[in-house]
Structure 1
């Protein structure tokens, strides 16, 4: 079996470590040891820890986001000028993401966890990186959800999109509790199981009626 080239070994090691130990907790020294390379190799290929993380994300995000947008384009084409079907918009967002767990092998599952960490760990660099890597997806899908939910007041709309992202991130990051809660009956790493339950759950939350506003409260 051919050994992966140096750049690929570094990316694979960094992906595993960033996902397992966290972005802030993973040093270049740890990546160097795990990849079996020297300091010069890291600096030759990536120059900095930030550029390494950017490359790790871009390697899988580019095809992932292209597939999401391809699916969303199909939804919009089928709908013409009318409202978009909510479940299909959700599927365009989540199906490619969770299928990556299966189709890309162990590296795909690690990348899924890394994406969750990227969205939950906080730093100025990560905030910029999220906009850089997810900006187009955020804009396109926010507009698509707006078309799918035209009657939802703006404040309720943005809260619910925020909760949708939160549910997705939790499903990506926290798999142990579901196994414990279900006694092993549910497999949180089976993308078909996850999508089959996540899509209707998210759709129901987005469509839920708005409770009557209390005096002095806001919607």
Structure 2
């Protein structure tokens, strides 16, 4: 449904294999990107990075990386990203590079942003479900935001109906499964423009459309 809605690719995270069907679906669907840094001894299906071509003929490298702080045991995310950046340099083998760091700790996400600065178009964090207010272009030209935020009903607990999370926090007892909240949703994301020659960011703005959060919709700039 997301691909039919117009998504060019989808990155996953620590819940990549919650649905068993994903293990076989990802093998035949190159637009689905799972974390790059699965342990070497684990024969994870699919790819953690892939090169995509835009309608205008530009190439975009998209990679997904899983953090290690308060997350599942994974290989070093920094060395995994370094290997991909070396194999497909920005402005040489790719016109743009997007790094999705799916991590719990803001410090780990920020460190990845600075680690990739000048070598990626965008480093954006995911997983913590709430948009952060630090959208910026780093000193080396890489666009960065610690967390893009969840696309969900924000009258919730990270997208879930409030009743069950509240029960677990207040009683330490589970009363059932988490259920998605079904109120008006907010679509969150990051808008980036890049330099045609270098692939580095020239503009970055947060996106928040619909629902109850303050709205932020990037305006179109007049062409000179």
Q: Indicate the structure with greater helix content.
A: 1
Kindly name which structure, 1 or 2, has the bigger radius of gyration based on alpha carbons: 1
TM-score by length of 1: 0.28
TM-score by length of 2: 0.27
**Looking at both structures, which has the greater relative contact order when contacts are Cα pairs under 8 Å and sequence separation is at least 6?**
1
